[in-house]
Chains A and B, each alone.
Chain A
Amino acid sequence: MVPLSHYLFLSAVLFMTGAVGVLTRRNAIIVFMSIELMLNSVNLTLVAFSSFLGNVTGQMLVFFVMTVAAAEAAVGLAIIIAIYRRKQTVNLDEINLLKW
């Protein structure tokens, strides 16, 4: 019997792995993949809670999170393609002409 807390630890580790990717990588596509990783760890938390509480709402949320992830990925990749057409790069350091 695996306790709920172990599932939550696992998802926290995955979430922070994704966060590290977002903060350190400079390739826009890999940054988006790291964001997908973060969203997946959210899904794991939701499913774990849902199953342990015996409450279906959590699994419904997962369904919608997946939709949101798909829509975000589609628009994000379209933006990357638009930028690549102009600059031939997806490197965030080269893309950011605008100041912080």
Chain B
Amino acid sequence: MTLEQLMFYGLGAVGIGSGLLVVTRRNPVMSALSLVLNFFCLAGLYLTLNAQFIAVIQIIVYAGAIMVLFLFVIMLLNLRDERALSDRLSARKIIGAGLAFGLLLQVLYILMSAADGFPQKDEALAVSTGTVEVIGVQLFTTFLFPFEITSLLLTAAIVGAVLLAKKKLD
């Protein structure tokens, strides 16, 4: 087993495991911490795919900012465990899980049947696409316009979040 395979299967297994923990833990703090672990696994996988820049911002943005926000809100609201409701198996849960599982099988089947036509990795090419330099150039040429729109998106989100979360009612 090469190092790459080792990393992929190791990180993949931990990623799936932590993903399952996110959706099964009753305590939201546990879920949030599992999600952080999941994000780190994904960052590792991005490295095996030679996407250094994405791996780094995965940690900075997701684990560093978004998850801190989640944890902050969980602490702020002082949430306890979800009781009663998550103990019972309801029809909705079974249907929901079954639906998702059926869809998963379908997607896996489709991916499997298409797998022959997938491209092989060109190591040199892959290394040259994921660098900060290439992404920076793209960001400020071809993707300049969406980049600017993103700033508006974030401004609107900030205005909205402040408006909704403000304590005073006026």
Check if A47 sits within 8 Å of B49, measured CB to CB.
Answer: yes
Residues of B within 8 A of A44 (CB): 42, 45-46
Q: How many residues of A sit at the interface, in one of the four size bands?
A: 35 or more
Check if A56 sits within 8 Å of B35, measured CB to CB.
Answer: no
Check if B118 sits within 8 Å of A5, measured CB to CB.
Answer: yes
Shortest CB distance A7–B (Å): 7
Check if B129 sits within 8 Å of A12, measured CB to CB.
Answer: no
> Which A residue's beta carbon lies closest to that of B48?
A2
CA A47 to CA B82, docked complex, whole Å = 35
Residues of A within 8 A of B112 (CB): 5
> Which A residue's beta carbon lies closest to that of B86?
A26
Check if B121 sits within 8 Å of A52, measured CB to CB.
Answer: yes
Question: Is there a chain B Cβ closer than 8 Å to A96's Cβ?
Answer: no
Interface residues of B in 88-122 (CB under 8 A from A): 92-93, 95-97, 99-101, 103-104, 107-108, 111-112, 114-115, 118-122
Shortest CB distance B100–A (Å): 4
> Which B residue's beta carbon lies closest to that of A50?
B129
Which A residues are closer than 8 A to B by beta carbons?
A: 1-10, 12-21, 23-27, 29-30, 32-34, 36-37, 40, 43-44, 47-48, 50-57, 59-60, 62-64, 66-75, 77-82, 84-85, 90-91, 93
